[in-house]
Amino acid sequence: MESADLGYSPSAEASSKSSLRPRSPAADDKERHIHIRFLVSNTAAGSIIGKGGATISEFQSRSGARIQLSRNHEFFPGTSDRIIMISGGFNEIIKAMELILEKLLNEDEDHHDVDTRTKVRIIVPNTSCGAIIGKGGSTIKAFIEESQADIKISPQDNTYPGFSDRLVTITGSLEEQMRAIFLIMTKLLEDSHYPQSMNSPFPYGGANLSGFPAASVGYVVPSVPYNSGNYATNGGGKNSSNKGASGRSPASVNDSQGTSVTFGVADEHIGAVVGRGGRNIMEITQISGAKVKISDRGDFMSGTCDRKVTITGSPEAVRTAEALILQRVSANADREEIEHVRMEKTAP
């Protein structure tokens, strides 16, 4: 199917900006194998897969594109969203995007979400963002005017060494989003820095996320109540919901760093928080979006033998990271308690 048939080719009204607008892909370019990646929630991913894979199979058959999802424990760094990758020719990708976004929009309407201006977040390498932005922002401004969608590019995130992807957020109706995607994909097709293919939707296996060795990550944020008061003292007692955590300092607010909280975790539980090779702490920082710093050995909270745990980020990110850490501590304390009972039972 030709892109013009989809109704997303640039409109005639923008002919005066033809120098800023990407040309419609030539026939040879349309046949080139390329890809696009974007984010979806776990719930949306399930909807796209469908029962027994029926929906994703149908979308692949109708579009001619290949549609892959990252595994349910593979999230885009700093989010709890999975990654969809669509591979194929230009028109095949446009058609598959339309099918997926239309499916998600219809499901929102079924849940009585009447807002037709939704968001889609596309993953673009930092090296290709310049082509979308253009000199002095000229290209992205033209794309916004052409599509009537709101297009924003996230700043480069230096939190994760070796990670160089950015998010292009497109907000608008389905028609507006598809016009914007058409324009962006046409520009990326012309960009020599944009990789034509990828082996996996989740290529971050070798990235040094959060300063720890890479590992497959993924975690459902637990429903742990957030307590703004002080935690129980070290050890917590059998009925404490925060075993192994000590007093939490009041949150401080810094305009440049966001909210910061510091509390103590018993030295014996730090291993459970960090995890093998830093796996657990990497999960926590990735899911919450907060930065977590643990004091060095011997650097304790005043008057205790608890290591200092400092969380910095937005209030929501801090709350999420705090809940995840406390869950790790509590689970480890419970495990040690069970092991202690077993040892008592087996003792002569």
Which of the residue ranges 15-29, 113-127, 236-250, 322-336 has the most confident prediction, judged by mean pLDDT?
A: 113-127
**DSSP code string of 131-197:** HHH-GGGHHHHHHHHHH--EEEEPPPP-SSTT--EEEEEEEE-HHHHHHHHHHHHHHHHH-TTS-S-
Per-domain residue ranges of the chain: 3-201, 228-346
- Nearest of 266, 274, 294, 283 to residue 321 by alpha carbon: 283
Q: Are 326 and 334 in contact (CB under 8 A)?
A: no
Looking at per-residue pLDDT, the higher value among 316 and 219 belongs to 316
- What are the phi and psi torsion angles at 92 (to 5°)? -65, -40
Q: What pTM, to 2 d.p., does this model score?
A: 0.55
How do residues 292-302 score in pLDDT, each as one tens digit?
A: 999 988 888 88
Residue 264 reports pLDDT greater than 80:
yes
Given pLDDT bands bounded at 50, 70 and 90, which one contains residue 346? low
Average pLDDT of every residue of the chain: 75
Model pLDDT, residue 250: 42
How do residues 42-80 score in pLDDT, each as one tens digit?
A: 889 989 998 888 999 999 999 999 999 988 778 888 788
C-alpha 70, offset from chain centre: 11
Q: How many C-beta atoms surround the C-beta of residue 57 within 10 A?
A: 13
**What is the third-level CATH fold of 228-346?**
Ribosomal Protein S8; Chain: A, domain 1 (3.30.1370)
How do residues 142-167 score in pLDDT, each as one tens digit?
A: 999 999 999 999 887 655 656 788 99
**What is the third-level CATH fold of 3-201?**
TATA-Binding Protein (3.30.310)
